[in-house]
């Protein structure tokens, strides 16, 4: 018999590169801004009444800093995993995002920048992670502190959609997206 597993996907607060319009991808060292810390603290307060029993986070600094706020508010420890990282943009990371509209093929889920990861690869990574999480969930309600494209991939996976049908709208920094996964 299957049971629902509630996933609370917390998008990290605003990072320095969000604020300056640079492509982050899997660049590990980008910290939160002061606003990002405020957004993370607000998300942490929203998380408390949702009563997560476990918390996992991306191992990238902006997600770890957000998870620290969530851990303080909920009293939960967290562990990190590269499975919750943002889509990798390879050689494009650090470049101004506005310059990428003519370079990136946003319509092809199999396109990737040199050294990067396609949406199809991101989708497959998130799908494998969610399958493993559902097979041995640490709690009935789990907070996942992660990134915008990773949340969009999780939304598609839970809805049974492929990488070509991922939601177009990225959740805001510091937001919580609730998903029900049938485990």
**Catalytic machinery residues:** 12, 86
Q: Per-residue b/e over 126-148, b at no fewer than 16 CB within 10 Å?
A: bbebbeebbeebeeebbbbbbbb
SS3 for 3?
coil
Expressed in angstroms, the distance from the first to the final Cα of the chain is: 9
Burial of 81 (0-12, 13-18, 19+ CB in 10 A): middle
Give CA–CA dist 120/117, Å, rounded.
Answer: 8
Give CA–CA dist 23/35, Å, rounded.
Answer: 19
SS3 for 42?
helix
Give the pair of three-digit tokens for residue 62: 């902006």
């Amino acid at each position: 018999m299957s049971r629902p597993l509630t996933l609370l996907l917390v998008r990290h607060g605003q990072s320095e590169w969000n604020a300056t319009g640079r492509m982050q991808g899997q660049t590990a060292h980008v910290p939160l801004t002061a606003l990002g810390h405020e957004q993370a603290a607000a998300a942490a307060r929203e998380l408390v009444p949702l009563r997560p029993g476990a918390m996992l986070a991306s191992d990238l600094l902006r997600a770890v800093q957000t998870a620290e706020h969530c851990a303080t508010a909920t009293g939960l420890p967290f562990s990190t995993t590269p499975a919750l990282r943002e889509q990798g943009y390879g050689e494009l990371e650090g470049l101004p995002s506005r310059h990428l509209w003519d370079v990136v093929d946003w319509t092809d889920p199999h396109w990737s920048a040199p050294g990067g990861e396609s949406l199809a690869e991101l989708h497959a990574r998130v799908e494998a992670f969610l399958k493993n999480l559902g097979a041995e969930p640490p709690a009935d309600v789990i907070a996942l502190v992660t990134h915008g494209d990773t949340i969009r991939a999780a939304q598609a996976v839970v809805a049974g959609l492929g990488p070509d049908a991922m939601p177009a709208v990225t959740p805001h920094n510091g937001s919580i997206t609730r998903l029900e996964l049938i485990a």
